[in-house]
Amino acid sequence: MEVSAFDIQRPFDPALEPLPCADEHGWWFLFRQRDLLLRRLDERRVEPLHGAGDPRPRHADRPEPHFLGRLDGTPCFAAELAGAAPGGELIERDLFRLHGRMDTDLFLLAGRAFQILEWDRNHRFCGRCGTATYRAEVQRVRVCPACGYSQFPRLTPAMMALVSRGRELLLASAPRFPEGFYSVLAGFTEPGETLEACVRREVREEVGLEVANIRYFASQSWPFPHSLMVAFIADYAGGEIQVDGEEILHADWFTPENLPQVPGEMSIAGHLIRWFVNQHRQ
């Protein structure tokens, strides 16, 4: 089972401190909302900014960068691009569109950087009492000075399930998908629910089927905006396909020989489907 595609391959040491020296060269993940600031390497390939010190132009309300840790010993920083971008031949691109155009480790780190900035931006005020929060130094947490409430970076676990029936797999089309595009079932976990219970509930709600023998496949950080996708394989155990018409428009059984258009390399859904197809090729 291929699980390594979603992990950083080179040595990465996540850390908040000690902060690197000011003249040390580092990777700078500078974001304006979802857009990452990049340097072109050639027609297709891009990379984040690399250099000594914060490359953003100085201005009074420039938010402090976040030190993420070290990749191969090189310090990595995440920061918001609030005002003008640094000069030069730079481009800003949506993180979602950068898979395959960047070094994979840097792409995965960009996802990490984006989630930390998103959390920092969305928790400037206490969710309990409304007081302005501050960023703690020894842990990645924003703390309220009035009531002490701590807000850690938020992750939303979601499950994904490939339901199989012999050589067939269940694929479904959702209203948000392009025409003719299908994927495995997925959904967010609810409070108090295990991932396995979530698999059973989502499959029942979305296509009206029962499943058994739920096995873990792999997980993927999905920074759009802060999910952790946990993928499972499950066996069909009963029922007739009946779609809800809202979350799922159409679902059906497919063999490896008659697959519709499915997700690509970037997502764990694509890996899950390809893994099944390779297992059941004739």
- Backbone torsions φ then ψ of 60, nearest 5 degrees: -55, -40
| Pairwise CA distance, residues 117 & 67, whole Å | 11
Among residues 203, 209, 253, 193, which one has the least CA distance to residue 232? 203
Site string for Zn ion, 67-106 (x = CB under 5 A): ----------------------------------------
CB-CB contact of 134 with 142 (8 Å) = yes
CB of 123 to Zn ion, least distance (A): 11
Angle at the Cα of 126 (from 124 to 128), degrees rounded to 5?
Answer: 160
| Pairwise CA distance, residues 121 & 133, whole Å | 11
CB of 130 to Zn ion, least distance (A): 7
* 132 is an interface residue for Zn ion by CB under 5 A: no
CB of 116 to Zn ion, least distance (A): 21
* 149 is an interface residue for Zn ion by CB under 5 A: yes
CB of 145 to Zn ion, least distance (A): 8
| Pairwise CA distance, residues 209 & 52, whole Å | 56
Among residues 31, 22, 52, which one has the least CA distance to residue 113? 31
CB-CB contact of 49 with 28 (8 Å) = yes
* 124 is an interface residue for Zn ion by CB under 5 A: no
Return the residue of 146, 224, 257, 264 that touches Zn ion, per CB under 5 A: 146
Return the residue of 121, 147, 215, 257 that touches Zn ion, per CB under 5 A: 147
Among residues 196, 158, 193, 173, which one has the least CA distance to residue 246? 173
From the list 136-144, 191-199, 206-214, 259-267, the region that binds Zn ion by CB under 5 A is: 136-144
Q: Which is nearer to Zn ion, 149 or 177 (CB)?
A: 149
Return the residue of 124, 128, 154, 165 that touches Zn ion, per CB under 5 A: 128
CB of 148 to Zn ion, least distance (A): 7
Return the residue of 71, 113, 117, 126 that touches Zn ion, per CB under 5 A: 126
Extract the tokens encoding 186: 């997925």
Residues that bind Zn ion (CB under 5 A): 126, 128-129, 131, 144, 146-147, 149
